[in-house]
């Protein structure tokens, strides 16, 4: 769309059904449902071009761990519980922190790209590498001392020992995370989603083949699982590096530069705000698996919850793809001083993601007697999963909207503010409610899940209200200031 459009509507027309959008010159005028449908279709095409490969990438990368758990689940319940606890607690803690710190790059690269300062993007990515690799070195201590850490927080001794051993094998994955997340944000900001999707799907296919070979055929157990999972993540990292170094990113990658060490402290501050925001979300779901380990028959509880969480996260990968697409669209448009286009993008993606969530939930509920058999041979685990399926379906619908609103926050640079929202909704409201229902009132795993879901619903409502009340013209101005502060300048 060009920048020469007339103002959307006068004050007299703002009372109609789309008056709240208040578009200005950066989007076509909308005065009727037909106009709304036209702009919805145009924006949907842009979003799906970004979201479709982002969805494939998200599903493929998340599925690496899920495929590993699926194969290990047929080895034994203790082995599955060990891999689940390591993935949810040890790797989950590191994943949340590094992903959160890497999301600072989503704001900076997205807005720099929108402002036409491609030369700064590679420098931003290198700064992120410096910070995330340093953080990974510190986090490796948690992997080394995983067994005593898990025992300290009350995990079953057998599960803690097996999970701690598996954590030592998985240290290479930690450093793959540190390199991968900046790579992903760097490519996303340039809308180079398809290359990431192809690489991730190739990694998933190879991962499935070698997981079957090493875990099932050669019976290497946890050692085989770790070997394949580490190898798959490093394949993704090296393939993305080769793609960037090949020259396809133009001015966005000009080689390594000492400028990456300039203003590192400022980058650290933004990274920490991003880390707190996303860590609080990732760890919130980790806590569900952790609390399940404190219930009677912990192996069955952990296995059932983990399998449900795998399906849950698989389902909301659709929303995570939209999260990435929304963040790119919002940051690009704000960087280009198109505030109302950014606003309309949010409207389109929330509607689309909600509809997809409803479809996925209905499909999952209809097949609730079929899909648990793919993960376990235990009748007890299957029974627990069947009882959790209705809660799982409701969670999918809610969480198909929540990541989209988080994407808006990242694209606009609101990480610090959303971190406070997450603390209140998740840790002051959701977790205490889940503990009361799960332990005090003896509802067990369903009670814990209901409490967690309550926190997510509250957070979604608050983020929706924040998005609705946002002054998008001011956000566009803030984006321009941020690009200048970090060494860029606006477009000529």
pLDDT digits (tens, 9 = 90+) for 282-311: 667 667 666 776 667 766 777 777 778 777
Report the share of the chain in percent with pLDDT over 70.
76
Phi, psi angles (nearest 5°) of residue 375: -110, -20
Q: Which of 233, 218, 91, 193 is nearest to 150 (CA)?
A: 91
Residue 325 burial (10 A CB sphere; 0-12, 13-18, 19+): buried
26 close to 334: Cβ distance less than 8 angstroms: no
pLDDT digits (tens, 9 = 90+) for 383-396: 888 888 888 888 88
**For the chain, which residues make up each domain, given as ranges?**
33-485
Give me the long-range contacts of 73-78 (CB less than 8 A, separation at least 24). Answer: 73/303, 73/307, 73/375, 73/376, 73/377, 74/216, 74/377, 75/215, 75/221, 77/299, 77/300, 77/303, 77/376, 77/378, 77/381, 78/158, 78/159, 78/162, 78/299
- pLDDT exceeds 70 at position 480: no
For the chain, counts of helices (H) and of strands (E): 18, 0
Phi, psi angles (nearest 5°) of residue 3: -105, 15
pLDDT digits (tens, 9 = 90+) for 319-336: 777 767 776 777 667 666
47 close to 349: Cβ distance less than 8 angstroms: yes
Q: Which of 452, 422, 423, 421 is nearest to 435 (CA)?
A: 452
What's the pLDDT score for residue 442? Answer: 83
DSSP result, 407-428:
HHHHHHT-HHHHHHHHIIIIII
Phi, psi angles (nearest 5°) of residue 408: -60, -45
Report which of residues 143 and 460 the model is more confident about.
143
What's the pLDDT score for residue 27? Answer: 59
What's the pLDDT score for residue 252? Answer: 80
Give CA–CA dist 308/399, Å, rounded.
14
The H or E element spanning position 345 is helix 339-366
pLDDT digits (tens, 9 = 90+) for 398-420: 877 776 676 666 655 666 677 78
Average pLDDT of the chain is 78
User: Buried b vs exposed e over 232-270: b needs ≥16 C-beta within 10 Å?
Assistant: bbbbbbebbeebbeeeebeebbeeeeeebeeeeeebbeb
This prediction's pTM = 0.68
Report which of residues 337 and 412 the model is more confident about.
337
- pLDDT exceeds 60 at position 12: no
- pLDDT exceeds 70 at position 19: no
389 close to 314: Cβ distance less than 8 angstroms: no
pLDDT digits (tens, 9 = 90+) for 138-174: 999 999 999 998 888 777 788 889 899 999 999 999 9
- pLDDT exceeds 70 at position 36: yes
Report which of residues 393 and 491 the model is more confident about.
393
Residues 6+ apart with CB under 8 A from 109: 121, 124, 125, 185, 186, 188, 189, 190, 331
What's the pLDDT score for residue 5? Answer: 36
Q: What average pLDDT does the segment 116-129 reach? A: 82
What's the pLDDT score for residue 21? Answer: 39
160 close to 291: Cβ distance less than 8 angstroms: no
Confidence category of residue 47, pLDDT binned at 50, 70, 90 = confident
pLDDT digits (tens, 9 = 90+) for 345-393: 777 878 888 888 898 888 888 887 887 877 777 778 888 888 888 888 8
Q: How far is CA 94 from the centre of its chain?
A: 13
Could you give the residue ranges of the DSSP H alpha helices within 367-489?
379-399, 402-412, 415-422, 431-435, 444-469, 472-485
Confidence category of residue 16, pLDDT binned at 50, 70, 90 = very low
As given in the structure block, the two tokens for residue 107 are 């704001």
What's the pLDDT score for residue 478? Answer: 61
What's the pLDDT score for residue 168? Answer: 93
């Amino acid at each position: 769309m060009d920048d020469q459009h007339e103002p959307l509507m006068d004050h007299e027309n703002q009372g109609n059904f789309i008056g709240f959008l208040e578009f200005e010159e950066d989007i076509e005028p909308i005065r009727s449902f037909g106009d709304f449908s036209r702009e919805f279709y145009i924006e949907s095409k842009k979003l799906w071009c970004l979201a479709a490969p982002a969805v494939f990438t998200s599903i493929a990368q998340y599925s690496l761990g899920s495929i590993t758990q699926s194969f290990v689940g047929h080895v034994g319940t203790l082995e599955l519980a060990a891999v689940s606890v390591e993935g949810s607690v040890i790797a989950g803690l590191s994943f949340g922190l590094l992903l959160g710190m890497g999301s600072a790059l989503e704001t900076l690269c997205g807005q720099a790209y929108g402002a036409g300062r491609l030369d700064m993007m590679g420098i931003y990515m290198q700064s992120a590498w410096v910070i995330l690799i340093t953080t990974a070195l510190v986090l490796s201590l948690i992997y080394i001392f995983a067994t005593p850490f898990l025992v300290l927080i009350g995990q079953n001794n057998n599960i803690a020992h097996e999970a701690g051993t598996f954590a030592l094998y998985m240290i290479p994955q930690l450093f793959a995370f540190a390199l991968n997340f900046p790579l992903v944000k760097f490519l996303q900001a340039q809308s180079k989603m398809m290359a990431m999707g192809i690489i991730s799907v190739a990694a998933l296919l190879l991962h499935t083949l070698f997981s079957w070979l090493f875990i099932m055929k050669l019976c290497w157990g946890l050692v085989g699982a770790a070997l394949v999972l580490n190898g798959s993540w490093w394949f993704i990292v090296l393939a993305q590096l080769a793609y960037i170094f090949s020259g396809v990113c133009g001015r966005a990658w000009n080689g390594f530069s000492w400028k990456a060490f300039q203003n590192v402290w400022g980058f650290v501050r933004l990274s920490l705000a991003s880390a707190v925001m996303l860590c609080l979300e990732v760890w919130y779901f980790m806590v569900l698996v952790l609390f399940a380990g404190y219930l009677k028959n912990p192996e069955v509880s952990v296995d059932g919850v983990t399998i449900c969480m795998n399906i849950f996260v698989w389902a909301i990968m659709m929303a995570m793809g939209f999260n990435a697409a929304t963040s790119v669209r919002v940051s690009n448009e704000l960087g280009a001083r198109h505030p109302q286009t950014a606003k309309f993008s949010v409207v389109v993606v929330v509607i689309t993601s909600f509809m997809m969530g409803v479809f996925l939930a209905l499909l999952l509920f209809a097949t609730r007697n079929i899909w648990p058999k793919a993960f376990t041979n235990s009748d007890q685990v299957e029974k627990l999963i069947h009882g959790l399926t209705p809660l799982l379906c409701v969670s999918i619908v809610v969480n198909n909207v929540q990541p989209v609103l988080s994407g808006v926050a990242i694209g606009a640079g609101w990480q610090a503010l959303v971190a406070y929202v997450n603390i209140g909704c998740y840790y002051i409201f959701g977790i205490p409610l889940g503990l009361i229902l799960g332990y005090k009132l003896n509802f067990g795993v369903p009670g814990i899940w209901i409490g967690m879901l309550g926190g997510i619903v509250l957070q979604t409502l608050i983020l929706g209200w924040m998005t609705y009340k946002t002054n998008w013209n001011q956000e566009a101005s803030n984006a321009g200031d941020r690009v200048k502060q970090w060494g860029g300048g606006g477009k000529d």
